[in-house]
Structure 1
Amino acid sequence: MEMLLLWIGRLAGLVGVVACLIAIGARLGGAFWIAGFQVGTLLQAGIAAMVLGCLAHLVVLTLRSAGGG
């Protein structure tokens, strides 16, 4: 379970960073829409993915510190 949470955290974090970078780049380029989505929506989705990644890593850290891993 610990390894699964680690990989979920890594993948979610990576997807979140990429989504945020795309949203920021598009907005700096003057675009308001990407593939039918507003740039702000893409940015929020990226932030949510990074939060999911952080929470998954936090669970792993708490399991390790409690000796439950």
Structure 2
Amino acid sequence: MPDILRPLGTLAGLAGLSLCLIAGGIRLAGSHWLMGFEIVTLLQIGIGGMVLGCFSLLVHLTHPARRR
């Protein structure tokens, strides 16, 4: 399981960051809606992705190394 957490954390963090950047750019352009979703909702989904990425990487880093 800890072997999956590093790529999962990286992908979730990058996806969350890109969604936050997209939502912020659209909001700065003056639009409140995108494809039926409010921009604040997309921003919160992006924040959730970054939090998932942080927790996944934290668990990966704090997990004791396997001994072979």
Task: Verify same fold: TM over 0.5.
Answer: yes
Cα offsets for 1:7-62 (capped at 9, x unmatched): 10000000000100010000000000011100000000000000000000011111
Question: Is it true that 1:5 corresponds to 2:5 in the alignment?
Answer: yes
TM-align CA RMSD: 1.3
* Structure-2 separation of matches of 1:43 and 1:54: 17
* Structure-1 separation of matches of 2:21 and 2:65: 37
What TM-score, normalized to structure 2?
Answer: 0.91
**Structure 2 residue ranges without an equivalent (≥5):** none
Aligned-pair CA distance for 1:3: 2.5
State how many pairs are aligned: 67
Question: 3-state SS of the aligned residue for 1:46?
Answer: helix
**Structure 1 residue ranges without an equivalent (≥5):** none
The structure richer in helix per residue is 1
Q: Which amino acid aligns with 1:26?
A: I
Matches within 5 A, 1:1-69: 1-63=1-63, 66-68=64-66
Structure 1 consecutive aligned stretches of length 4 or more whose deviation exceeds 4 Å = none
* Structure-1 separation of matches of 2:17 and 2:9: 12
What TM-score, normalized to structure 1?
Answer: 0.89
